[in-house]
Structure 1
Amino acid sequence: MHKYLFLLLASYFSHAQTLTGTVKDSLGNPLANANVIAKPLVEKQGLKFSIADHFGRYKLELEKGVPYEVRVSYLGYKEAILNLEANSELKEHHFKLKETGQQLKEIVIDYEYKPIIVKKDTLIYNVQSFANGNERKMKEVLEKLPGVEVGKDGSVTVQGKKVTQMMVEGKSFFGGGSKLAVENIPADALDKIEVIDNFNKVGFLKQVSDSDELAMNVKLKEDKKKFVFGDLEAGAEVANDNGFHLLHTALFYYSPKTNVSFIGDINNIGKRTFTFEDMMRFQGGASSFISGRKQLTNLYSFATGNTDVIENKSQFGAFNFRQEINSKLDVEGFGIFSKLFTATLSESQNEYLQNSSFTFEDKTNKGNNKSILGIGNIKLNYSPSDQSRWFYNSQYQFSTNDITSQILSIRDGQQNTFENINNADNSQVKQFLEWHKQYKNKNHTTTFVINQSYENKKPQNSWLTDTEFLTGLIPLQNDSFYTIEQIKKVKNNSIDALFKHYWILNNYNHIYTNIGNNFGTTSLEITEKQYLTDGTINDFATGGFGNDLNYLLNDFYVGFEYKFKIGKWVNKPALYTHFYHLKTRQILENYTTNKTYFEPQWNSEYEFNQSEALKFNYKLSNDFPDATKLLERYTLQSYNSVFKGNALLKNERFHTASLRYSKTSMYRGLMLFANLNYNKKIKTIRNVIELAGINQFTTPTITDNPETNWRFYGNLSKKINRIRIQLNSNLSWFNYIQSLNGQTTSNNRNNQSVGLKIRTATKKWPSVSIGYDKSFSQFSGLTKSSFTNDVFSFDFDIDFLQHFNFKTDYEITFNENSNNQKTNYRIGNASLSYHKKDHPFRFELSAQNYLNNGTKINNSFSDFLISNNTTYILPRVIMLSISYKL
């Protein structure tokens, strides 16, 4: 293996040649972002390209023995050409471009030999310059674009920044999530990929909105702009008789005025079409101008691609459309249906921390989850003029969840068995209206937004066991079998409104005025009862259980922001005044509080040059407790946990600050990103815990004990010839005060991780990636504990014999705890596919978890619990699948 790698490297260095230099104008000024293209003058050789940095420097990595025509172009300047002979020894060349003397509007740009076009905040990739025609999906094309990376979860980053909005032909694709696009849009439909930084859906707001969004817009080939395309795929298990199968379809119709898409998927191998981020985007239904409202529905189980189960059955369908009614009105909509069944099995060894002793529990949890989700959404985009935009969005969603779990708890040789049944029906209606207006002199712009949401949830929990539990914490009556039923009725309603005025004094000074109101109510009823075997009912209300809460929180605020620019330094200090009104009504007492707070903010950015910047953000905030923390009576949470709220809780108050540095240099092949976050709570809500064995009683309290949290993330990527080396680190330090069994301790939870990845960065070689990650975790408080994890990963992707492709990925994880107990597990996947270019059929033989590893092992800790967890996963799955491309 080492010999092979050596020969591979030796082969590269014997066939590589580097040409460097500068691009400047006739006065010697550097021309940043000039395009430098090397066109081979022989067949079967690819274009080489570079983009000049802010010093005008460029670097081309050329093949030895190949003649090239090197062209340099820049808007407003005459093109320069350099011819290189096949055996040229030229290592350095400096270009000087002369102005055309023509008006910009008269310049015609020939895109044929320009694989990348760079504008102020837009990058345009010509797909034909990077793809070889064997790619099936958009994902495979993006992986070949310089500076673009696609994660396993379908996320896309460009030069280290994550794409937050995905579009096709300038219109949002399936809500703007990237996963559906990269895994379903056929590669042969792509013409160009546009990357737009500081994106704003309302063009005239871009100058004032300070958007940090990064959008990717897919431009289709001319013959695909009014065309039906997509593919169908079917797969079945071939090695065993477990019944594993896969059916998938992705169909698209695009025309200038009408777009229709359908994606369907049925499988039982743990593959999920949606990521959690995609689901959250679809379930949003709220304007991006009003943020901070907590999500009310937990959709995690519908969206995670999950093989950490012993059984998984998934059915998914999504329909999306856009219709241009006329030049001023567009209608968009989507519908989603998901049906999911999972069976899980996990084992854990738990160590409960107490003041002077420890309690150990061996726990086995086996569960079944049946879930159904439906979402319908419609959006109207109305543009009565170039200076006015209206948006209206309405969404309805429903979900049902039926969860059954069997828990076996063994402690001190005693075995207890519990069955927990959870049923929940949830429905929600959300809508928002946006209006944006720019006035004639363009120095004044206004925005008005209103959000409304209503949610109705009816969860029911049942606990069944033949053993008395939570003795002294719940009012059980002696019986031969115990059946406890809990019924919750939750209704949440919110209305949020914002009016914002943007005033551009001049190019260096802006003033923004904000007036808004956030109004929210919650109605919460909880009952707990014991159903005895003789037919009688023991109502826990007589023992202090049962809650009936009406909750209202209103936040009216006025804010002023002043944005000014000094040279390359842009600042935006702001001061908001918030008037909070909190009112609760419960069985025992009512509570009302009114608070007025000044909440300053400061955003600052210094742009050293177009590819290097430093950003700083600071904010002082207040967060009022939600309804569940204010419950005045007891609530049963699990087989070993009881909770009681605190009706007198006040708001948390905290400082947040972040510092972000970014630098990219195509000349040096360098990308560097570092982010430091700081959070300090000066008013803190934290649970006071009473622990007896494994039984927990918790209640929240407000304290002046500070909590500090530091987080650092860094990523350095460097291209050395045709190898890219990536270093990353993720560090966190969390200090807080915890009260356990009447004893107050200062706790520290710290985590550190560092990683190294080396991968090939050329189309001529197989795609090879080798990675190593090392992580450390420490906890100190009542006791001290630590964990270490070592993860080695390997990915390999090769095209061979013209029509074949082989892929494999392998990962091995080593765990070790503070007691020197060591565990490890290995996961590997592989696939072999055959696809003849321009042929509609594709065949694939895949092996998921080919090592047939049955478990995953990890360690964790919390305020009072240290756990060693073993999760059972899907067995080896070997499938043969056939796909047909329309």
Structure 2
Amino acid sequence: MKLLKNHLLFNATTKLMCYFILFFCSHSFCQTLTGTVKDSLQNPLANANVIAKPLLENKGLKFAIADHLGRYKLELEKEVPYEIKVSYLGYKEALLKIDANSDLKEHHFVLQESGQQLKEIVIDYEYKPIVVKKDTLIYNVASFANGNERKMKEVLEKMPGVEVDKDGTVTVQGKKVTQMMVEGKSFFGGGSKLAVENIPADALDKIEVIDHFNKVGFLKEVSDSDELAMNVKLKEEKKKFVFGDVEAGAEVANDNGFHLLHTALFYYSPKTNVSFIGDANNIGKRTFSFQDLMRFQGGVSSFFNDRKQLTNLYAFTTDNTDVIENKSQFGALNFQHDLNFKLAVEGFAIFSKLFSASLTESNNEYLQNSAFTFENRTTQKENKTLLGIANVKLDYSPSDHSKWFYNAQLQSSANDAASMLNSIRDGQQSVFETLNEADNNQIKQFVEWHKQYKNTKHTTTFVVNQSYENNTPTNIWLTDTEFLAGLIPLENDSFYEIQQVKKVKNNTIDALFKHYWIVNNYNHLYTNVGNNFGTTHLQISEKQLVSDGTVNDFANGGFGNDLEYVLNDFYVGLEYKFKIGKWINKPGIYTHKYHLQTHQIAATYTVNKTYLEPQWDSEYEFNQSEALTFKYQLSNDFPDATQLLERYTLQSYNTVFRGNALLSNERFHTASLRYKKTSMYRGLMLFANINFNKKIRTIRNKVELDGINQFNTPIITDNPETNWRAYGTLSKKIHRFRLQFNSSLSWFSYIQTLNNQTTTNNRNNQAVGVKISTATKKWPSASVGYNKSFSQFSGLTSSQFTNDVFSFSWDIDFLRSFTFKTDYEVTFNENSQNQKTTYRIGNAYLSYQKKDHPLRFELSARNYLNNGTIINNSFSDFLISNSTTFTLPRIILLSISYKL
């Protein structure tokens, strides 16, 4: 009944907002001026700037950018007179004055050529909020900020086409920013979260967004880079100045000891830049995201981004309030220094220390051939992690046509975890304690050399990449109950202690030579020769420490592995890029010669295979704001070392794994189609993506399930696996509101063998959402959103889940110095048995800061509804699970910050 009331309340709220928007649109206090900008020959001037300057004080600028047909649209206030200025590079400015309450609805501008040389043109940005060039957008910060913003994130959120999610990921017109820079220099490895959440808003002058970015300027034409860079231009007074802020906060309502300490300090000068970020808190706030960590963890050349990461450091990232205790300490130092006009050095150092404790209760249903098995499980975990990363990079430019890079990174991490698991099945209780320790050390380095020859028709790149990793994880299982009967060779005892020791050493060396030949403006030819070489030495031992002091070595029961693994990939490729009108194509063909060799206790296996791997990239640009992109590739993926282990390995308290030394490679097709369209004239942004992946040779685990116990072994078959994913978003500005729709769809079909029964499984997901938000600086920033998702699984049995999320946010400045923010989210879950659950999360922030005053006070209430649990539903090939995760309680924090 309560859920029904919530749904009815949401429906009523949605209808009321729709009626309000319709009413506002029909009784608007603004007038719309439309028209075109063309030259004297009536050719449209795409991306011309149309700026309306109010002739009254305390009124904001209005602006528009002409689309590819030269059309523009201005939303003007009725009782305000305006001076409208139109400008375009190489043309004389045009001027139009409009009186207050004017009836003018349409005006067409005709610009005359200035006749000036390009070098004589001076661009005045004073009244140009956005400047559009071919691959670059330039936002003038002063045109969007009102002066009450604290961090860069708050400024970006007010810029059209720019979005920042809760993890600090920035997207511009639907495309993710992959390189973050300040004054043209990489900021902490190029990650976005540290930048947007720490750079002060009042230090920003302009934001440059550069598509198809390449750190080597003369490679931009031939690299086909899909990277999107954001470059922060600082105000002149901040370019040789120390700035930043420090913040301290403590709990005021209860006595739980919650606290927050944070500092962000920056020094910028023409030759030297230094940034420091420090953070210590126990409220579940993380300072950098998973994407940033992957960038820090990388340490490899961008030419080898496809290299698999060997270490999982996910525990160090993302906000984690889904725990009952969390303590975080973080420090980061970033520096850049120009030694001379040819040589620059930059680097960063990262330190992170985390402690977390979690509690989860789950109800699990294991799906089997003969009968279902039910398990109630309670899991308590404590995790301590340490991470240190040091990275240094040299940038040497001996000439305008030559570039050298050298990068070295040292990484060290330690992870100590303890978990207590209580499993109840058929009235029988089992308690398992698991202790995990893992120390990891890595050294990575690469050298890049790029050369453009004098005739500019030929360019070469040579890259060498090397990485070494030493990992020593240890796992201990403790219980008073005999477990995995028949799967592990246990000796009878009153208490069981199983110890597993792993030693893993990985070494990779990659080399690539690439030649670019620009035949003419419409034809390019690229030649690639490369080699990827990797080795792994993997040792695993399991044993039982018996109470009488003896040792039961599992090696006598088929456990214990010692593997030497070598994989070499030599390849030669040819790519041909050609342009027909607006259509750009780049077909390519690669020949790969693979050599895989494994040496184990029983035997040595060798696989030699040669494959042709075609690919095709295609893009049709209808105009600068509308394009269609297609990509296709046929690839092969060889198994990693753990999949080839010939003997048994203990994976968890209920899982034993045995590899398959005879595995060969997977073979799969991947394709994607992306469409984007933006129109400032119509206030429209449309993005759609479709991705397709089909494996024609597949490695998948064969599972034997007995109760909750699992035995897994990989097999390779010609059974196809097909995966479709589609995503789309449509955003439309309606007067002073923005309406956004989004949808996603995924369909995954594969064949699974469970208890010797082979079935076709399907996993499908669909989601739709709508969001209404204000889109004017004069109003408070507010949004209301609704998302609904569906999930279905069919195989041995069928199950489905639905999920409804209603969200609301509000951000308002009042009484000149106060800011209030709040966000609220309620989630409704329903599973196949029509069981319904609900949880709510709400946060609120009230801050006070006088304009131009360094002190700022904030009172925050995190999880102010004191919601103590989060409920989730999930399914896999043989398991349906309903889990309840306990979270941090309500936290009321008073913090004080000081701006330097």
- TM-score higher than 0.5: yes
1:623-645 per-position Cα deviation (integer Å, ceiling 9, x unaligned): 00000000000000000000000
- Corresponding residue to 1:566 among 580, 594, 615: 580
Q: Distance in 2 between matches of 1:541 and 1:163?
A: 50
- Corresponding residue to 1:198 among 169, 194, 212: 212
Q: Within 5 Å, give how 1:834-873 maps onto structure 2.
A: 834-873=848-887
1:400-420 per-position Cα deviation (integer Å, ceiling 9, x unaligned): 110000000000000000000
Equivalent position of 1:73 in the other structure: 87
Q: Within 5 Å, give how 1:165-184 maps onto structure 2.
A: 165-184=179-198
Equivalent position of 2:255 in the other structure: 241
What letter corresponds to residue 627 of structure 2 in structure 1? A
How big is the alpha-carbon RMSD for the aligned residues of Structure 1 and Structure 2? 1.1
Equivalent position of 1:797 in the other structure: 811
The answer on 1:434 being equivalent to 2:448 is: yes
The answer on 1:288 being equivalent to 2:296 is: no
Is there any run of 5+ residues in structure 1 with no aligned partner, and where? none
1:7 is displaced (CA, Å) by: 7.3
Equivalent position of 1:278 in the other structure: 292
1:639-697 per-position Cα deviation (integer Å, ceiling 9, x unaligned): 00000000000000000011111111010111111101111101000111100000000
Equivalent position of 1:879 in the other structure: 893
SS of the residue corresponding to residue 284 of structure 2 reads coil
1:747-792 per-position Cα deviation (integer Å, ceiling 9, x unaligned): 1111111111111111111111111111001001100100000000
Q: Distance in 1 between matches of 2:49 and 2:660?
A: 64
SS of the residue corresponding to residue 184 of structure 1 reads coil
Equivalent position of 2:834 in the other structure: 820
What letter corresponds to residue 222 of structure 1 in structure 2? E
SS of the residue corresponding to residue 491 of structure 2 reads coil
SS of the residue corresponding to residue 294 of structure 2 reads helix
What letter corresponds to residue 614 of structure 1 in structure 2? L
The answer on 1:125 being equivalent to 2:153 is: no
The answer on 1:518 being equivalent to 2:532 is: yes
Q: 1:698 to 1:3 in 2, by over 3 A?
A: closer
Q: Distance in 1 between matches of 2:17 and 2:41?
A: 50
Q: Within 5 Å, give how 1:437-836 maps onto structure 2.
A: 437-836=451-850
SS of the residue corresponding to residue 216 of structure 1 reads strand
Q: Distance in 2 between matches of 1:255 and 1:478?
A: 71
Equivalent position of 1:40 in the other structure: 54
The answer on 1:21 being equivalent to 2:48 is: no
1:9 is displaced (CA, Å) by: 7.6
Q: Distance in 2 between matches of 1:623 and 1:5?
A: 51
Q: Distance in 2 between matches of 1:697 and 1:549?
A: 21
Q: How many residues align?
A: 886
Contact 2:180–2:192 under 8 Å retained in 1: yes
- Corresponding residue to 2:111 among 97, 122, 132: 97
Q: Distance in 2 between matches of 1:3 and 1:757?
A: 14
1:306-351 per-position Cα deviation (integer Å, ceiling 9, x unaligned): 1000000000000010010000000001101000000010011101
Q: Distance in 2 between matches of 1:741 and 1:328?
A: 65
Contact 2:180–2:230 under 8 Å retained in 1: yes
What letter corresponds to residue 101 of structure 2 in structure 1? N
1:128-163 per-position Cα deviation (integer Å, ceiling 9, x unaligned): 122111111111111111211111111111111111
Q: Distance in 1 between matches of 2:23 and 2:306?
A: 55
Q: Distance in 2 between matches of 1:387 and 1:40?
A: 48
What letter corresponds to residue 450 of structure 2 in structure 1? H
1:14 is displaced (CA, Å) by: 3.5
Contact 1:830–1:850 under 8 Å retained in 2: yes
Equivalent position of 2:417 in the other structure: 403
- Corresponding residue to 2:279 among 262, 265, 271: 265
Equivalent position of 2:5 in the other structure: none
1:712-735 per-position Cα deviation (integer Å, ceiling 9, x unaligned): 011111111111111111101111
Q: Distance in 2 between matches of 1:611 and 1:5?
A: 29
SS of the residue corresponding to residue 541 of structure 1 reads helix
Q: Distance in 2 between matches of 1:4 and 1:663?
A: 27
What letter corresponds to residue 276 of structure 1 in structure 2? F
Contact 1:636–1:642 under 8 Å retained in 2: yes
SS of the residue corresponding to residue 596 of structure 1 reads strand
Equivalent position of 1:148 in the other structure: 162
Contact 1:19–1:61 under 8 Å retained in 2: yes
Q: Within 5 Å, give how 1:370-389 maps onto structure 2.
A: 370-389=384-403
Contact 1:40–1:66 under 8 Å retained in 2: yes
Contact 1:196–1:214 under 8 Å retained in 2: yes
1:250 is displaced (CA, Å) by: 0.3
Q: Distance in 1 between matches of 2:366 and 2:495?
A: 27
Q: Distance in 2 between matches of 1:380 and 1:29?
A: 48
1:3 is displaced (CA, Å) by: 8.1
What letter corresponds to residue 693 of structure 2 in structure 1? N
Q: Distance in 2 between matches of 1:21 and 1:399?
A: 61
Q: 1:785 to 1:9 in 2, by over 3 A?
A: closer
Contact 1:267–1:315 under 8 Å retained in 2: yes
1:537 is displaced (CA, Å) by: 0.4
Q: 1:547 to 1:110 in 2, by over 3 A?
A: same
Q: Distance in 2 between matches of 1:767 and 1:112?
A: 25
Q: Distance in 2 between matches of 1:152 and 1:253?
A: 27
Contact 2:167–2:318 under 8 Å retained in 1: no
What letter corresponds to residue 860 of structure 2 in structure 1? S
Is there any run of 5+ residues in structure 2 with no aligned partner, and where? 1-12
SS of the residue corresponding to residue 221 of structure 2 reads coil
TM (norm. structure 1) is 0.99
1:108 is displaced (CA, Å) by: 2.1
What letter corresponds to residue 288 of structure 1 in structure 2? S
> Structure 1 stretches (4+) deviating beyond 3 angstroms?
1-14
Q: Distance in 1 between matches of 2:850 and 2:893?
A: 20
Equivalent position of 2:101 in the other structure: 87
Contact 1:290–1:498 under 8 Å retained in 2: no
Q: Distance in 2 between matches of 1:92 and 1:574?
A: 50
1:106 is displaced (CA, Å) by: 1.7
1:104 is displaced (CA, Å) by: 1.9
- Corresponding residue to 1:59 among 58, 73, 81: 73
1:5 is displaced (CA, Å) by: 9.3
Most deviating of 140-149 and 837-846: 140-149
SS of the residue corresponding to residue 223 of structure 2 reads coil
